[in-house]
């Protein structure tokens, strides 16, 4: 009976393929994401081969490696040979080494060669993002010769908008020319006459992909050449790959701010054990940090026993300090990320955050006093004979803790940047933990000075 | 004497301009960012006019509006006329209405017309990002005619890589052709033969810029046409503008996760009052939410008085719940933002987060028990005769709170998305506040059931 069911499935998937075959590749990819990898692999075989290649080439397809792994080697190899080199490298990188080797052997010689080079670069490096399918011409060619060459090789190149002009003797990069520049130039003029007067912007293969993104964004490039130490072009990183990288980095920034080690893996595809491990590390470190709050409380246990009423406001005060700190940290991560501030601007931030913290603390203190007075007067709760002093203690502590939280939260990204870390690795839980411990000390310090002689 | 100093400054700035004039425009812009707006404006006047235009056109320059405002109208108008329409709109949008009107009047008729249209669209809309300087040709032209036209108008167009083919009768958009397609096509062939077989991807002017970014990224476009309801091309949004928009959005996502209302303004240029106001709103709302912790504590004051030892662990337990919640929220914001999960996947997340929370809680509980046993045995602190039951209470509460935190934190982005909000508007402070209140109830609930008959 199993074979009947399989037959039904086959028919459905063939119909699915026929229904979607006319759509744009990214749309087919998005629709395939809704199917299981097994069904998606089956559908691909029902699509015309050139459509299947386009779909596999689309970064929109999330389970590309799984799908390719499910195809037989005979089916997979020709599809991979048609894909762009950087996407094939992406697929192979995620495979188990034996599968990868078996599949790589089936590729044509040229693809195999470029895979050997691309897979040698670490993940998230410019080298790992690049494609080897770019246009390069010797510097003694004319504009017309170059355009003629472009027309010939266009089908096999990822982009033809940037053309790299190399020294014919040692093949080192001399200039980058844009297709725009070529189209408006005289066909008989030397190709170098269509170039900008400056040396092209390049990136080394081991640079972080964020560096490539920064350069592409700063200089409004459509592609950036990846160049080795001798000046040879190894490949190019195109603007569309960079957009995908930026979108992923940006989602990871939020994740890091939430206190989870960044990883490129999708949520549901991360194994349970590896997901727990990723979270348990930071959570345990923070927990050990938080145990200092228990030590602080123990230190003040005399005060707590004498004035139990003080404990009622501990969560409120600590929470507010952490919240103020998270706000400040996120503001400064943003400002440093966008280049609005530099390391040496830290004192300007101090001069803003301290008054800001004082004002914010005073606002919360006012709400806090109102809350205590209201509850006392309405008879909802009796804070004891010294309730006004208790209110004053809570209010003063709030001003102190919110100010400290704003200051500590704003300085953390600077400290991280100063010591060579990404300022965006500051996380809200870390700030909260930092502020919690200090907040308790501030609270009991304020309480001792205000309540000593009455409650304490 | 003042005039002598000014003269000295003039000389220095002229020298500065001469020294940097040969650099790339984004590099000059980055260097100008280090000067005051007054000096930067002065330097611009010392640069050759076409360089000054390029520098003002670079998104790298942060204080463009201030600098333009400092120039006399006679100096500013010709520079603006040379800039790309979307950058001019960006500059004018940030000006006071009278200054804007005075400057707009000095622009040439064409620029004035396109400003009138661009400034009509709300900030962060596709319409506000677009440039009106694109290439469009009637559909009855040949490839050769189109290339000839491109060569003629190239200088005044932001991009020539995407060409829009319109119906010659009603000027509605029929197809998009790429320069790549034109270069490889036969010059005598109709321009439409170089187009893809499908209708072009377009975006309406009022769509959010994030939508334009999503489409450009999904379909690997170099530009997307902004089209009105009748099908007329109003302008185009280019990939470089989109990259800048994505970088800004991504920094704002971190800021929102930190609990600050997003705003495009740089940190140091935001007025003190407006910065405080932006933070005070959320901070006060969260504070009022946090006062529920005081009410909860009041509710359990009988338990607290009987077992003061319980209060020692309140900050520790609450902090851990908040941290676990922040982690889960940030993971899910990322997964929803990258499209790895959809709304209907919420139950799959529940099935992962509950066991993950149980495991993470158990890990923290183990550390917690070890901490209490160690302190008790080493004589650092005496948790009383029932210290083993206290340790059990803390451990059980940790498991409960971390599980609840993971569950609540992971569901929050889904709830926000369900009700039409951006899942990224979930903030760490909000999660912490949510978990704090519930955490206290869990803690005292567990304490009552474990310690009743002994301490309680």
Q: pLDDT digit string (tens) for B220-235?
A: 899 999 999 999 999 9
- Give contacts of B316 with chain A, Cβ < 8 Å: 287, 290-291, 293-294
pLDDT band at A3 (very low <50, low <70, confident <90, very high): very low
**What integer best gives the mean pLDDT of chain A?**
89
Within 10 A of B285 (CB to CB), how many other CB atoms are there? 14
- Give contacts of A258 with chain B, Cβ < 8 Å: 257, 326-331, 333, 428
Tokens of B137: 């040709």
Residue of chain B whose alpha carbon sits nearest to that of A152 = B184
C-beta atoms of B179 and A161 within 8 A: yes
Tokens of B166: 């319109």
Specify the pLDDT at position A271: 82
| Distance of alpha carbon A165 from alpha carbon A175, whole angstroms | 5
Least CB–CB distance from B290: residue in A298, A316, A428: A316
- Give contacts of B240 with chain A, Cβ < 8 Å: 217, 220, 239
pLDDT band at B6 (very low <50, low <70, confident <90, very high): low
Largest CA distance in chain A: 97
Average pLDDT value for residue range B446-451: 92
Specify the pLDDT at position B60: 86
Tokens of A194: 């269509």
In this predicted structure, the answer to whether residue B5 has a pLDDT above a threshold of 50 is no
In this predicted structure, the answer to whether residue A326 has a pLDDT above a threshold of 80 is yes
- Give contacts of A402 with chain B, Cβ < 8 Å: 283
C-beta atoms of B268 and A359 within 8 A: no
Question: Which position has the token pair 């170099």?
Answer: B222
pLDDT band at A179 (very low <50, low <70, confident <90, very high): very high
Contacts with B, A 391-450, CB within 8 Å: 402, 424, 427-429, 432-433, 436, 440
Question: Number of CB pairs < 8 Å for A and B?
Answer: 389
pLDDT band at A56 (very low <50, low <70, confident <90, very high): very high
Q: What percent of chain A has pLDDT over 70?
A: 97
Average pLDDT value for residue range A393-417: 94
Residue of chain A whose alpha carbon sits nearest to that of B360 = A280
pLDDT band at A270 (very low <50, low <70, confident <90, very high): confident
Of the candidates A149, A146, A118, A120, the residue with the CA atom closest to the CA atom of residue A132: A118
SS3 assignment for A231-247: CCEEEEEEHHHHHHHHH
Q: Are B297 and B304 in contact (CB under 8 A)?
A: yes
- Give contacts of A357 with chain B, Cβ < 8 Å: none
Q: Does A361 touch chain B (CB under 8 A)?
A: no
pTM confidence score? 0.77
Q: Does A337 touch chain B (CB under 8 A)?
A: yes
CA count, 13 A, side-chain hemisphere, B83:
26
Q: What percent of chain B has pLDDT over 90?
A: 48
SS3 assignment for B301-363: HHHHHHCHHHHHHHHHHHHHHHHHHHHHHHHHHHHHHCCCCCHHHHHHHHHHHHHHHHHHHHH
Q: Does B192 touch chain A (CB under 8 A)?
A: no
Within 10 A of A336 (CB to CB), how many other CB atoms are there? 24
| Distance of alpha carbon B279 from alpha carbon B275, whole angstroms | 6
Q: What percent of chain B has pLDDT over 70?
A: 97
Question: Which position has the token pair 């690049």?
Answer: A130
Q: Does B140 touch chain A (CB under 8 A)?
A: no
Contacts with B, A 280-319, CB within 8 Å: 280, 282-284, 286-288, 290-291, 293-294, 297-298, 301, 304-305, 308, 311-316, 318-319
Within 10 A of B265 (CB to CB), how many other CB atoms are there? 14
C-beta atoms of A255 and B432 within 8 A: no
Q: Does A249 touch chain B (CB under 8 A)?
A: yes
- Give contacts of A287 with chain B, Cβ < 8 Å: 316, 320, 323, 364, 367-368
**pLDDT one-digit tens code per residue, B249-260:** 777 788 888 888
3-state DSSP call for residue B254?
helix
C-beta atoms of A293 and B287 within 8 A: no
Average pLDDT value for residue range A110-137: 88
C-beta atoms of A147 and B183 within 8 A: yes
pLDDT band at B263 (very low <50, low <70, confident <90, very high): low
In this predicted structure, the answer to whether residue A4 has a pLDDT above a threshold of 50 is no
Q: Are A29 and A67 in contact (CB under 8 A)?
A: no
Q: Does A329 touch chain B (CB under 8 A)?
A: yes
- Calculate how close chain B gets to A113, using CA atoms only, in Å: 26
**pLDDT one-digit tens code per residue, B407-427:** 999 999 999 888 888 887 788
Average pLDDT value for residue range A43-68: 90
E-only strand ranges, B142-222: 162-166, 173-178
| Distance of alpha carbon B300 from alpha carbon B293, whole angstroms | 11
In this predicted structure, the answer to whether residue A262 has a pLDDT above a threshold of 70 is no
**What integer best gives the mean pLDDT of chain B?**
89
| Distance of alpha carbon B308 from alpha carbon A115, whole angstroms | 66
**pLDDT one-digit tens code per residue, B88-109:** 988 898 888 888 888 888 888 8
pLDDT band at B184 (very low <50, low <70, confident <90, very high): very high
Specify the pLDDT at position B138: 96
- Calculate how close chain A gets to B3, using CA atoms only, in Å: 30
- Calculate how close chain A gets to B242, using CA atoms only, in Å: 9
- CB burial of B37-47 (b: ≥16 within 10 Å; e: otherwise) equals bebbbbbbbbb
3-state DSSP call for residue B267?
coil
Specify the pLDDT at position A257: 83
Residue B309: exposure state from Cβ atoms within 10 A (0-12, 13-18, ≥19): buried
Least CB–CB distance from A291: residue in B60, B316, B337: B316
In this predicted structure, the answer to whether residue A7 has a pLDDT above a threshold of 60 is no
ipTM: 0.76
| Distance of alpha carbon A392 from alpha carbon A332, whole angstroms | 32
Average pLDDT value for residue range A192-221: 90
Question: What Cα–Cα distance (Å) separates residue A349 from each residue in A10, A161, A424, B26, B261?
Answer: 64, 43, 17, 26, 19
- Give contacts of A305 with chain B, Cβ < 8 Å: 308
- Calculate how close chain A gets to B148, using CA atoms only, in Å: 9
| Distance of alpha carbon A311 from alpha carbon B318, whole angstroms | 14
Question: What Cα–Cα distance (Å) separates residue A355 from each residue in A358, B16, B278?
Answer: 5, 37, 15
Specify the pLDDT at position B264: 65
C-beta atoms of A323 and B286 within 8 A: yes
Specify the pLDDT at position B126: 92
Specify the pLDDT at position B141: 96
């Amino acid at each position: 009976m199993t074979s009947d069911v399989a037959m039904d499935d086959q028919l459905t998937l063939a119909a699915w393929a026929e229904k979607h075959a006319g759509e744009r590749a990214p749309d087919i990819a998005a629709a395939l994401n809704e199917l299981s990898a097994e069904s998606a692999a089956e559908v691909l075989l029902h699509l015309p081969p050139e459509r299947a290649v386009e779909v596999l080439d689309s970064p929109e397809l999330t389970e590309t490696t799984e799908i390719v792994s499910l195809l037989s080697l005979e089916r997979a190899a020709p599809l991979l040979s048609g894909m762009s080199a950087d996407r094939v490298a992406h697929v192979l990188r995620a495979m188990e080494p034996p599968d990868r080797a078996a599949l790589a052997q089936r590729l044509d010689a040229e693809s195999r060669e470029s895979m050997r080079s691309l897979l040698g670069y670490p993940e998230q490096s410019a080298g790992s993002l690049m494609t080897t399918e770019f246009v390069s011409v010797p510097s003694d060619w004319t504009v017309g010769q170059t355009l003629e060459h472009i027309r010939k090789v266009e089908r096999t190149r990822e982009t033809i908008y940037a053309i790299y002009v190399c020294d014919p003797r040692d093949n080192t990069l001399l200039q980058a020319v844009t297709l725009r520049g070529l189209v408006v130039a005289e066909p008989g003029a030397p190709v170098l006459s269509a170039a900008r007067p400056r040396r092209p912007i390049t990136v080394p293969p081991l640079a972080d992909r964020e560096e490539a993104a920064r350069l592409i964004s700063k200089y409004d490039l459509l592609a950036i050449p990846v160049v080795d130490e001798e000046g040879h072009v190894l490949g190019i990183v195109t603007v569309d790959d960079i957009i995908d990288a930026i979108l992923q980095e940006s989602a990871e920034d939020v994740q890091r701010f939430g206190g989870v080690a960044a990883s490129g893996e999708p949520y549901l595809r991360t194994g349970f054990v590896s997901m727990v491990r990723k979270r348990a590390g930071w959570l345990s470190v923070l927990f050990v940090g938080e145990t200092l709050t228990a030590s602080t409380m123990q230190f003040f246990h005399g005060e707590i026993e004498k004035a139990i009423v003080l404990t009622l406001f501990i969560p409120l005060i600590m929470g507010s300090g952490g919240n103020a700190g998270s706000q400040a940290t996120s503001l400064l991560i943003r400002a440093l990320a966008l280049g609005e501030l530099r390391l040496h601007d830290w004192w300007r931030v101090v001069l803003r955050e301290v008054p800001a913290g004082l004002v914010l603390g005073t606002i919360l203190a006012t709400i806090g006093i109102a809350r205590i007075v209201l509850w006392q007067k309405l008879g909802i709760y009796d804070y004891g004979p010294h309730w006004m002093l208790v209110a004053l203690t809570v209010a003063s502590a709030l001003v102190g803790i919110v100010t400290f939280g704003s200051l500590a939260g704003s300085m953390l990204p600077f400290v991280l940047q100063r010591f060579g870390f990404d300022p965006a690795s500051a996380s809200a839980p870390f700030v909260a933990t930092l502020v919690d411990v200090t907040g308790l000390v501030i609270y009991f310090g304020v309480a001792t000075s205000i309540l000593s002689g009455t409650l304490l």
